[in-house]
Amino acid sequence: MTTVLHGLLAPSANRVYGQQAAALAAAELRFVLAHTVPGALEDVREESIAGMPTLRIELADWALDADIGGAAGEGIDAAARARVLTALARSPHIFGVFDEVGTMPAPEPVGPDREAAGPAVGPADGAAGEERLYVDEMPELPLLLPVRTPAVDRFDSTLLTTLKYQGKTNEQFTALMLSCAIAASADAHLIEDTSRPFTVLDPVAGRGTTLNQALMWGLDAVGVDLDKKDAELFRAFLTAWMRENRLKHTTSAERLTVNGQQLGSVFRADLARSKEEQRAGRGQSLTLFTADTTGLGAFIRPRSANAIVADLPYGVQHGARAQAGKQTRPPKAGKQTKNAALSRSPLQLVESALPAWSRAMTDGASLVLAVNRRTAPYPAMAEVLQQGGLRLLTEDGQFRHRVDRSIDRDIIVAVKRSHPASSTKGTPS
């Protein structure tokens, strides 16, 4: 037996991204379910129902039974069931989920000698004067029952959508990356364990799109970025947003000094939705370091990140420094020279920063990078990660999609070779 679900695709403000959303949603579900509920997904493909883009999702009956709205039925793996529904809830491309509980014959064509059951809304079909009541030309239509998925968002959507600026990463793509990071992390159980937080590190944080998405899903967030202007804009936004949404919160900002050297600055925020959450220790924390990501080992504790999610610069200045325009390895933290220019090479940035990033990862952590294949070809970035001691979980082109004329984007997911499940989840390398 197979349980068939239909996922109604969410609209996208970006036309180019929206045209590729169905393929990205399918790729996301294949990856996430393969790493959280192996064998549960039998097939996923694009479809259209009444002219609306959907995904047809076929699941093994042991993972999800027909009575989705009630308790898990006999023979159903309750834990697998919960993980499937959570994966669907986190998918940024799926607006709503429906269970196919049966089919019904499509309405008969309405002609001049037949009384219409209702207003004809479909295109002309066949003989003159005949129209269908539905847009689709399917001989049978599915009977669909809405499926209630877990509530994964903790805050109002304004946390993700208010801050607008040129070059901002699409919020749906950011959520896709974080969804894959959680699925690949062996520490994902911490999300339900209130005794310890699940911490997401974005080592190229920019203006905090990934940090905000982590907060939205109830996770702790740590960011690192050199750009003082970006850090100040993010700090001002988050502080105002917490105040306007009446969250219980505290903030602090101070210089970042390590062993007598000033490396930058640090902004910290602790927030909770209510006094009760705050008192019970169920709040969240965010830390943003304005400093060089290649030297984050000096101020971020080893093995403190359960996932690293980084949307690498697509040729924009970031991260490391180079003398007189020459691409060189960056100096040690605190030793940057006055006239140094920022490096434009994502490959060089990752090669220089990976040792520090890897030390910040727990043994079970995942690393998810978004790369522009034009400036950081997938094989070259994969080689950098493998030489740095990581194991790849994705293949070349698995999440490939076009952003614009100059950006051909893909995702690379990797884990440490010490990852407890790195050799058992179908890893490509």
What pLDDT sits at residue 76? 63
Q: What is the average pLDDT across 187-200?
A: 89
Q: What is the average pLDDT across 19-34?
A: 96
Say if strands 261-272 and 248-258 run parallel, antiparallel, or are unpaired: antiparallel
Question: Which comes out higher in pLDDT, residue 162 or 135?
Answer: 162
Count CB-CB contacts under 10 A for residue 51. Answer: 10
Whether the predicted pLDDT of 326 surpasses 90: no
Say if strands 305-311 and 199-202 run parallel, antiparallel, or are unpaired: parallel
Question: Which comes out higher in pLDDT, residue 102 or 288?
Answer: 288
Q: What is the average pLDDT across 306-324?
A: 65
What pLDDT sits at residue 330? 41
Confidence class for position 163, pLDDT limits 50, 70, 90: confident
What pLDDT sits at residue 170? 86
Whether the predicted pLDDT of 154 surpasses 70: yes
* Residue-wise pLDDT tens digits, 112-127: 554 544 444 444 444 4
Confidence class for position 5, pLDDT limits 50, 70, 90: very high
Paired residues of 48 in beta bridges? 53
Task: Map 257-273 to HEC letters.
Answer: EECCEEEEEEEEEEEEC
* Residue-wise pLDDT tens digits, 236-265: 999 999 999 999 999 999 999 999 999 999
Whether the predicted pLDDT of 419 surpasses 80: yes
What pLDDT sits at residue 425? 46
What's the rounded Cα separation, in Å, for the pair 414 and 185? 10
What pLDDT sits at residue 342? 56
What's the rounded Cα separation, in Å, for the pair 272 and 269? 10
Please provide the average confidence, as pLDDT, over all residues in the chain.
Answer: 84
Percentage above 90 pLDDT, the chain? 65
The structure's pTM equals 0.85
Question: Which comes out higher in pLDDT, residue 153 or 404?
Answer: 153
* Residue 380 token pair: 């070259």
* Poorest-pLDDT segment among 165-169, 312-316, 317-321, 355-359: 317-321
What pLDDT sits at residue 344? 57
Whether the predicted pLDDT of 71 surpasses 70: no
Tell me if 247 sits within 8 A of 271, measured CB to CB: yes
Whether the predicted pLDDT of 130 surpasses 60: no
What pLDDT sits at residue 24? 96
What's the rounded Cα separation, in Å, for the pair 350 and 336? 18
What's the rounded Cα separation, in Å, for the pair 213 and 195? 21
Confidence class for position 15, pLDDT limits 50, 70, 90: confident
